């Protein structure tokens, strides 16, 4: 009889030892928790400039993050003569007051309407967006300064319609 008790005690002890009985009593509070990337990280990281951020949020739905536009409906900004114009008032006038009418880009016809942005963005924001456009996708137009936008905003403040290509030919 005694050998049976000894055997049972030994058996139970060994069974407990074999199981990870500790894990049964200790709650695992230090399990790693997966934190997904933030919205900002997903959009390309925190290093994105103001211009890149605003472009991607407000312009890329039409002109695409690649700046290539959509053939036949949205003209490209990559390689755009107006966007890169030496006369910075041209792209500034387009963004402030919008753009409309028939145009031909790379042999493709467009006849759309772009809304004005003068009451959406301040001078710094428009300068940042246009600087981003003029220094991305191989563009070489270069920087647009907030003072440039302020000057064009002031001298076109009475305008109420979108620019056409012919009107942009006129210097301010």
Residues 77-136 that bind ligand HEC (CB under 6 A): 77, 80, 82-83, 91, 94-95, 99-101, 103, 105, 110-112, 114, 117, 129, 133
* Closer residue to ligand HEC in complex, CB, 53/151: 53
> Should residue 74 be labelled a site residue for ligand HEC when binding is judged by CB under 6 A?
yes
Query: Smallest gap, in angstroms, from Cβ of residue 155 to ligand HEC?
Result: 19
> Should residue 58 be labelled a site residue for ligand HEC when binding is judged by CB under 6 A?
yes
CA–CA dist 37, 31 (Å, integer): 19
The count of chain residues that interact with ligand HEC, using the rule CB under 6 A, is 26
Longest dimension (CA), the chain: 113
Q: Contact 122/116 with Cβ under 8 angstroms?
A: no
Q: Which helix (H) or strand (E) holds 100?
A: strand 99-105
> Should residue 146 be labelled a site residue for ligand HEC when binding is judged by CB under 6 A?
no
Question: In Å, what is the CA distance from 27 to each residue of 16, 19, 24, 33, 35?
Answer: 18, 16, 8, 15, 21
Six token digits for residue 59: 């312009």
> Should residue 61 be labelled a site residue for ligand HEC when binding is judged by CB under 6 A?
yes
Query: How many of the other CB atoms lie within 10 Å of CB of 127?
Result: 24
**Residues within the interface to ligand HEC (CB under 6 A):** 58-59, 61-63, 74-75, 77, 80, 82-83, 91, 94-95, 99-101, 103, 105, 110-112, 114, 117, 129, 133
């Amino acid at each position: 009889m005694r050998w049976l008790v000894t055997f049972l005690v030994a058996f139970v002890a060994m069974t407990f030892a074999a199981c990870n009985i500790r894990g049964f009593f200790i709650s695992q509070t230090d399990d790693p928790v997966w934190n997904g990337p933030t919205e900002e990280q997903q959009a390309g990281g925190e290093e994105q400039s103001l211009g890149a951020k605003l472009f991607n949020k407000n312009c890329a739905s039409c002109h695409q993050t690649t700046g290539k536009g959509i053939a036949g409906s949205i003209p490209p900004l990559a390689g755009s003569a107006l966007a890169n114009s030496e006369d910075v008032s041209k792209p500034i006038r387009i963004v402030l007051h919008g753009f409309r009418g028939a145009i031909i880009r790379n042999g493709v016809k467009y006849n759309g309407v772009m809304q004005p942005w003068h009451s959406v963005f301040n001078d710094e924001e428009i300068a940042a967006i246009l600087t981003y456009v003029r220094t991305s996708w191989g563009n070489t137009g270069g920087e647009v300064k907030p003072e440039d936008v302020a000057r064009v905003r002031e001298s076109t403040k009475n305008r109420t319609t979108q620019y056409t290509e012919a009107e942009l030919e006129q210097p301010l």
